Structure 1
Amino acid sequence: MISVGDSIRQSAFFKILVIGFLVMLLLIPLIMISSAVYERQSRYYSVKSEIGELFGYDQTIMGPVVTVPYQRFWKDDKDKVHTDLHYAYFLPENLQIRGQLVPETRYRGIYEVVVYRTDLTVSGAFEPPNFGFWKTIQPEHILWDDAYLTIGISDTRGIREALTLNWNKKELPFLSGTRSSLFDKGLHVRLPDLEQLNTTNYEFSFKLNLNGHEQLAFSPVGKETIVELSSSWQDPSFAGSFLPVERVINETGFEARWQVSHLGRSYPQMWNTEMQDSVNLHQEQFNVNLRLPVDFYQKVERSIKYGILFILLTFTTFFLFEIFNPIRIHPLQYLMVGFALSIFYLLLLSISEHLNFSWAYLIASGATIGLIITYGQWVLQSRQRSLIMGGFLVGLYIYLYVLLHLQDYALLFGAIGLFVILALVMFITRRVDWYALHLNQQR
């Protein structure tokens, strides 16, 4: 005689409730593994920051800009005359930057980070500063003797040697600091006798040797800006407001050429203190990145999002074996299989830090499938059923691998896959009488 308690425990509905509870319970290890991914990723970024602090951070080159101070006089309500110091800023007519990026890979423990050295030649020409645009500035109020040229460099610690400006065939040493609110960090050089030079254009050039970390960016401050870079790095990434007009990438490295007109940016060729709030030289930059393709953290994190789905589908397959075969599977055995599926993500994370992601995925999934197949021979009481289970898991992990490498079509592929799986389960169980079903088979 079967008691009411035994009848409940043998009902399919009760088993489904238990399986649902176990699926929710397995959220705990998945959340813990997701936290481990975040922790390892944070550690990687911390190492990158440490190396950047020692060698040089991402570098951004802005300028050069010629700055000429002038005086403004005004009266207060008591007719007392006051003097304010204002500035006029002038950008070059043309700007050419040519050079090489020499990449190096630095290691800190298991982490590797790309740094680089640059050997750049910066040249161009300025038109003589023209204050006629501002009718309120009197010629006698212009402080020509205090004029200077400024370049912005985001991390001046990366400067490898002293810089000298060739200004109309005259050598002028750069000094530290910008003397300007345009840039947070940089260098400046005084421009003596700027007013007395009788020339159509002021030609300039200087060498710039920098240490940096992964990214090198430029601001197109010239009326026409041309940047030509070459490097032995084979996997560059070009980004920013402007892409190269020409680029060649092959097994020997890359060559890229940018050509930018002043018409494509938001700030003018000259402005003064009154217009300063509307000018931002940090806008419309373009850059090249020499980054290592370290995207496995994102892939592992994305794969964990499918963890509950994987566990649910695997448990459903085991449950179907219970329905159509004279076996009983204990909730603890379900839980063991769920833990094996969860540990896959931890294996994937740890192996990915040492091997290519595809190899790490193959090893982690192979180990997980092998473990479940071996365990399934006892749980399912049949080697054939265990192999069927293994085939199902192989298909499931191939499905996940494809999803992780799709970008634009990931949602479509995922939705179609889930629809097909649901349809298959509905087809297999279409003749099951759920009201009459009791899992009362004996081992």
Structure 2
Amino acid sequence: MKIPRDDDPATPRKIRAARLGIGIRDVRGLVGVPALHVAGAPRELHQGMGHGGGSGLHAVLAAPTEGAMLEFDVEFKASVQGTETLSIAPLAERNLIALDSPWPHPQFHGDFLPRTRAIGPQGFRARWEVSSLASNAQSQFRAGLGKRDSDDTIDEISVSLVDPVNVYSQVDRATKYGVLFVVLTFVAFFIFEFLTQLRVHPIQYGLVGLAIAIFFLLLLALSEHTSFGIAYLVAGFACVALIGYYLRHVLGGWVRGAGFAAMLATLYATLYGLLLSEDNAMVLGAGLLFVILAAIMVLTRKFDWYRLAATVPASSKT
């Protein structure tokens, strides 16, 4: 920035101390006192932008002389917490931005991706290098874009701290498997009918399906008060025990009821493994469906569906 000369001696300009402002939309996330160095020298930071209002910080610099060119190397270091998304507008001629965080699941977006990044269980490190020639941020800032009350955005780098496997996402993913659970249970019921020569009433189908649906409601309710693993264990045990007890009477014996309950428990355990998987859920789910379909086809390969449908007797009451 060049300071204009005083062309009119009758009305001389009075050049005051320069202020370097750092706009921050929400300063509540700052931890401790940020450090600012201008041309290698530390500068004290003050609250507010120092001119025209606005949220952020500012530092007072020496008063420039007329005709001087203001050009500084500025280094700003700050620690933040409680921030889900952090965005930075690259307004300098050459912007070197470094972010370090113990969070292991960053999501990079915005107009510029990191030049280098390292992500691991202990956190991530990311580095950006953005030139003013590659960004419209300066002209957009001068035009008033990117302000709190403006709908227009400004070029920025941005990173979000996401949790790919949190309680609510796990419950949501579990409920998406709900229909598959009911269908697989009904298919197992159907196979049991012909293997055991017992007829299962549609109402009995419905009651078991309702018990499976209650599992997901219990899972959501319990996971709000305890860890997801414990909630899943309690909800799964309750529903498997209820269905096993009920099927002991429907299928005519504890062995059959326990066998069906064991199959259902295996299905729940497999689903739990899918829910904990971040990167391989689709592969594991597709493989599981293939194995289940293959098992059904093997078990029913010699069934004479026309004859069995006419000869299956009604279930006995016990």
Q: TM-score, normalised by structure 1?
A: 0.53
Counterparts of 1:414-425 in structure 2, within 5 Å, are: 414-425=285-296
Question: What is the match of residue 266 of structure 1?
Answer: 135
SS at match of 1:145: coil
CA deviation vs aligned residue, 1:136-189 (integer Å, no higher than 9, x gap): x99849x78376432110113556889997767696764634756xx9633456
Cα deviation for residue 206 of structure 1 reads 7.0
Aligned pairs (5 A) from 1:33-432: 129-130=1-2, 140=7, 145=15, 148-158=19-29, 174=46, 176-177=48-49, 179=51, 185-188=55-58, 193-196=63-66, 201-202=71-72, 212-222=82-92, 223-227=94-98, 229=100, 233=102, 235=104, 237=106, 239-240=108-109, 241-243=112-114, 245=116, 247=118, 256=125, 258-262=127-131, 265-267=134-136, 271=139, 282-287=154-159, 289=161, 295-406=166-277, 410-429=281-300, 430-432=302-304
Distance in 2 of aligned mates of 1:212 and 1:310: 38
- Report the more deviating stretch, 183-192 or 162-171: 162-171
Q: Retained in 1: the 8 A contact 2:106–2:124?
A: no
- Tell me the distance in 1 between the aligned counterparts of 2:200 and 2:6: 95
Question: For the residues of structure 1 that align with 2:77 and 2:236, how far apart are their CA atoms?
Answer: 53
Distance 1:436 1:357, change over 3 A: closer
Aligned partners of 1:172, 1:276: CA distance in 2, in Å? 27
CA shift for structure 1 position 353: 3.0
Distance in structure 1 (CA, Å) of the matches to 2:83 and 2:145: 30
Could you say if the C-alpha distance between residues 144 and 236 of structure 1 is closer, same or farther in structure 2, counting changes exceeding 3 Å?
farther
Q: Deviations over 1:398-430 (max 9, x none)?
A: 332343345565445444543443444344444
2:265 alignment partner AA: V
Q: Is the 8 A contact 2:29 2:82 kept in 1?
A: yes
AA partner of residue 311 (structure 1)? V
Structure 2: gaps (5+ residues):
none
CA distance, structure 1, for counterparts of residue 276 and residue 37 of structure 2: 51
Are 2:47 and 2:56, in contact at CA under 8 Å, matched by a contact in 1? no
Aligned to 1:441: 314
Secondary structure of 2:235's aligned partner: helix
Letter aligned with residue 234 of structure 2:
I
**How far 1:239 moved relative to its partner?**
2.8
For 1:273 and 1:369, how far apart are their aligned partners in 2?
61
**What is the alpha-carbon distance in structure 2 between the residues aligned to residue 158 and residue 196 of structure 1?**
38
Q: CA deviation at 1:380?
A: 0.6
CA-to-aligned-CA distance 1:346-379 (integer Å, 9 cap, x gap): 2222333344434433333233222222221111
Structure 1 residues 278 and 319: alpha-carbon distance in aligned structure 2, compared to 1, 3 A threshold? closer
Query: How many angstroms apart in 1 are the aligned matches of 2:45 and 2:207?
Result: 72
**Cα offset, 1:237, TM superposition:** 2.9
Match of 1:105 in 2: none
| Mapped contact 1:337–1:372 kept (Cα < 8 A) | yes
Cα contact 2:194–2:308 (8 A) shared by 1 = no
Contact 2:248–2:257 (CA under 8 A) maintained in structure 1? yes
Give the secondary structure class of the aligned counterpart of 2:292. Answer: helix
Per-residue deviation, 1:305: 1.8
Give the drift of 1:220. Answer: 3.7
Instruction: Give ranges in structure 1 of 5+ residues lacking alignment.
Output: 1-128, 132-136
| Alpha-carbon distance in 2 for matches of 1:312, 1:236 | 35
Q: Give the alignment's TM-score, normalised by structure 2.
A: 0.70
Q: Are residues 283 and 372 of structure 1, via their aligned partners in 2, closer, same or farther at CA, if it must alter by over 3 Å?
A: same
In proportion to residue count, which structure has more strand? 1
Q: Which amino acid aligns with 1:440?
A: P
CA 1:150–1:288: 2 relative to 1, 3 Å = same
SS at match of 2:306: coil
Offset at residue 333 of structure 1 (A) = 2.6
Count of aligned residue pairs for this structure pair: 302
Counterpart residue identity of residue 213, structure 1: T
Contact 1:144 1:195 in 2 (8 A): no
Alpha-carbon distance in 1 for matches of 2:146, 2:30: 30
Q: What secondary structure is seen at the aligned counterpart in 2 of 1:225?
A: strand
CA RMSD of aligned residues (A): 4.6
